[in-house]
C-alpha cells in the first residue's frame, strides 16, 4: 500500500514537471524569456540532472542577453552529455558572442572532430582562427570542405577571405571567380575590396566596400575594413563612423575595438580607451601591440609599475619589438632606474620593428 502511494506521488510530480516544461516551451516560443527562464529553473530544482532542459535554459538565457549565465548552463549540460553536438555548438556560439574567441575555437575544434563534414561549425571555427590571426589554419580547415561542397557560397567566400589574409591573391581570385558565377553580391564586392586593400589600391577598395555595404550592411567585417580603407585615405571622421557601425553589429570585432580605442586614447578618454583595448586583448590574448597601448595608458594614469610589469613580459616574448623596448625605457626612467632605462633604450635602437604574432 505504501509502495502504491509513493508511485502515485512520483507520477503526480512527473506530470507537474511536464506541465512546467510545456509552459516554459510556450513562453520561449512567445519570446517571453523571463517566464521561460523562471520555469526552466523551477523544473531543474527538482530534476538537476536533466541535461537537455539545462541546455534549453541556456538557449533562453542567450535570447535574454545573459551569455555568461548561459555558458554555465551549457557547460553543466555538456558534463552530462559530452557527445551532444547541438549543446557544444550552442556553447561555442555563446563564447563567440562574448568575444571569448579562443574558448569558442576550442569547442568548435572538438565539434569539427566529431562532425568533420558539417559546414556551419567549420565556418565559425575558420572565423575564430582568422580573428586570432591564424588564416593558414582556416585555409587548412576549409579546403577539404570546399572540395566536398564546391557550390557552397558561404564556404567559398570564407576560404577566399582566408586566402587574402594569407596574402595569397591568386588563390583568393579563384574563390572570387566561383562566387561571381552567380553575379555580383555583397560577398563578391567585399572580396574584391579586400583584394584591392591588400594591394594598397585604396580608391577602388573603397568603391567595392561601399557597394558591399549598400548590398548588405550587416555583412560581418565589412564596416571594419571600410574604416581601415577610409583611414588610409585620410578620411578619419568617416572611418570612425564605420568602425562604430561595425561595433553595433559585433561588439567584439578586433580591428574596430583597437581603432576606436586608439581614437579615444588620442582624445584623452583613457578609461574608455582602456575598456576598448582590453576587449581587443580578450579577442586576441597576448597581442603585443595592444598590450603596449594598455601599458601606455597605465603610465599616463600614474601606474608606472603596472606598465612596467606589462612591458617586461612583452619584451621577453618579443625581444625585437623596438617600440616596446622604448616604452619600457621610459617607464624605467620614470621609476628612477636609469641603468635599466639605458639598457632598454639601447635594445630599442637595435630592435627591428613592430612585433609579429
User: What pLDDT sits at residue 10?
Assistant: 33
Cβ(180)–Cβ(171) under 8 Å? no
- Residue holding cell 552529455? 81
In a domain? residue 89: yes
Q: What is the pLDDT of residue 2?
A: 39
Mean pLDDT of the residues in the chain? 88
Rounded CA separation 283/268 (Å): 24
Asked whether the predicted pLDDT for residue 182 surpasses 80, the reply is no
pLDDT at 228 over 90: yes
pLDDT in tens, 71-82: 999 999 999 999
Residue 200, pLDDT score: 86
Decide if pLDDT at 5 tops 60.
Answer: no
pLDDT tens per residue across span 13-28: 455 568 888 888 999 9
Is 70 exceeded by the pLDDT of residue 271?
Answer: yes
Question: How is residue 81 written as a grid cell?
Answer: 552529455
Cα 273 from chain centroid? 19
Q: Does residue 74 lie in a domain region?
A: yes
How far is it, in rounded angstroms, from Cα 98 to Cα 206?
Answer: 30
User: What's the average model confidence in pLDDT over 265-277?
Assistant: 95
Q: What is the pLDDT, as a whole number, of residue 352?
A: 52
Whether the predicted pLDDT of 131 surpasses 90? no
Mean pLDDT along residues 126-148: 93
- Give backbone dihedrals phi and psi of 216, rounded to 5 degrees, phi first: -155, 90
Q: How far is CA 72 from CA 31, 40, 121, 159, 254, in A?
A: 22, 14, 20, 33, 25
- Assigned domain for 349 exists: no
Helix/strand/coil percent split, the chain, to 5? 80, 0, 20
CATH number of the domain encompassing residue 54: 1.25.40.10
Query: Per-residue confidence at 3, pLDDT binned at 50, 70, 90?
Result: very low
- Mean pLDDT to the nearest integer, 44-59: 90
What is the distance in angstroms between the CA of the first residue and the CA of the last residue of the chain? 73
Angle at Cα 134 formed by Cα 130 and Cα 186, nearest 5°?
25
Residue 351: the pLDDT is 67
pLDDT tens for residues 87-101? 999 999 999 888 889
- All three cell numbers of 326, joined, read 622604448
67: in domain: yes
- Does residue 27 lie within any of the structural domains? yes
Q: Is the pLDDT of residue 356 over 80?
A: no
Domain that holds residue 64: 13-115
Taking the alpha carbons of 121, 131, 194, 170 in that order, is the dihedral positive or negative?
Answer: negative
- The predicted model scores a pTM of 0.70
8: pLDDT confidence band, cut at 50, 70 and 90? very low
Q: Which of 96-110, 186-200, 237-251 has the lowest mean pLDDT?
A: 186-200
pLDDT number for residue 195: 85
| Within-domain flag for 65 | yes
**Predicted local confidence at residue 173, as pLDDT:** 86
DSSP string, 159-201: HHHHHHHTT-HHHHHHHHHHHHTT---HHHHHHHHHHHHHTT-
CB 162 within 8 A of CB 130: yes
Q: Could you tell me which of 260, 316, 269 has the C-alpha nearest to residue 290?
A: 260
pLDDT higher at 98 or 211: 211
Total number of domains constituting the chain: 1
Question: Is residue 278 within 8 Å of 309, Cβ to Cβ?
Answer: no
131 is a domain residue: no
Residue pair 357/287 in contact (Cβ under 8 Å)? The answer is yes
Position 15 scores a pLDDT of: 52
Q: What are the residues whose beta carbons fall under 8 Å from the beta carbon of 291, sequence distance 6 or more?
A: 281, 310, 311, 313, 314
Identify whether 77 is part of a domain: yes
Quick: pLDDT tens for 133-142. 899 999 999 9
Amino acid at each position: 500500500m505504501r509502495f502504491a502511494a509513493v508511485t502515485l506521488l512520483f507520477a503526480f510530480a512527473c506530470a507537474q514537471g511536464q506541465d512546467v516544461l510545456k509552459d516554459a516551451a510556450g513562453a520561449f516560443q512567445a519570446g517571453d524569456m523571463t517566464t521561460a527562464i523562471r520555469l526552466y529553473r523551477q523544473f531543474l530544482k527538482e530534476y538537476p540532472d536533466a541535461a537537455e532542459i539545462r541546455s534549453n535554459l541556456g538557449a533562453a538565457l542567450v535570447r535574454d542577453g545573459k551569455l555568461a549565465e548561459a555558458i554555465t548552463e551549457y557547460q553543466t549540460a555538456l558534463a552530462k552529455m559530452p557527445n551532444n553536438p547541438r549543446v557544444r555548438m550552442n556553447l561555442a556560439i555563446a563564447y563567440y558572442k562574448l568575444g571569448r574567441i579562443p574558448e569558442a575555437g576550442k569547442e568548435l575544434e572538438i565539434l569539427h572532430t566529431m562532425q568533420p563534414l558539417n559546414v556551419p561549425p567549420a565556418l565559425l571555427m575558420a572565423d575564430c582562427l582568422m580573428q586570432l590571426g591564424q588564416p593558414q589554419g582556416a585555409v587548412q580547415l576549409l579546403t577539404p570542405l570546399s572540395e566536398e561542397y564546391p557550390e557552397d557560397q558561404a564556404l567559398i567566400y570564407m576560404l577566399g577571405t582566408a586566402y587574402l589574409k594569407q596574402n595569397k591573391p591568386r588563390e583568393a581570385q579563384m574563390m572570387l571567380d566561383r562566387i561571381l558565377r552567380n553575379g555580383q553580391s555583397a560577398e563578391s564586392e567585399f572580396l574584391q575590396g579586400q583584394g584591392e586593400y591588400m594591394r594598397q589600391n585604396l580608391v577602388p577598395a573603397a568603391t567595392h566596400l561601399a557597394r558591399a555595404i549598400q548590398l548588405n550592411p550587416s555583412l560581418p567585417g565589412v564596416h571594419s575594413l571600410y574604416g581601415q580603407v577610409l583611414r588610409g585615405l585620410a578620411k578619419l571622421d568617416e572611418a570612425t563612423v564605420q568602425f562604430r557601425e561595425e561595433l553595433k553589429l559585433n561588439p567584439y570585432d578586433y580591428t574596430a575595438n583597437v581603432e576606436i580605442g586608439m581614437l579615444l586614447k588620442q582624445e584623452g578618454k583613457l578609461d574608455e580607451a582602456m575598456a576598448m583595448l582590453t576587449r581587443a586583448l580578450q579577442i586576441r590574448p597576448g597581442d603585443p601591440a595592444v598590450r603596449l597601448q594598455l601599458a601606455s595608458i597605465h603610465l599616463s594614469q600614474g601606474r608606472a609599475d603596472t606598465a612596467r610589469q606589462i612591458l617586461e613580459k612583452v619584451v621577453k616574448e618579443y625581444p625585437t619589438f623596438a617600440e616596446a623596448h622604448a616604452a619600457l625605457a621610459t617607464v624605467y626612467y620614470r621609476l628612477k632606474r636609469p641603468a635599466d632605462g639605458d639598457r632598454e633604450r639601447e635594445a630599442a635602437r637595435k630592435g627591428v620593428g613592430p612585433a609579429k604574432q
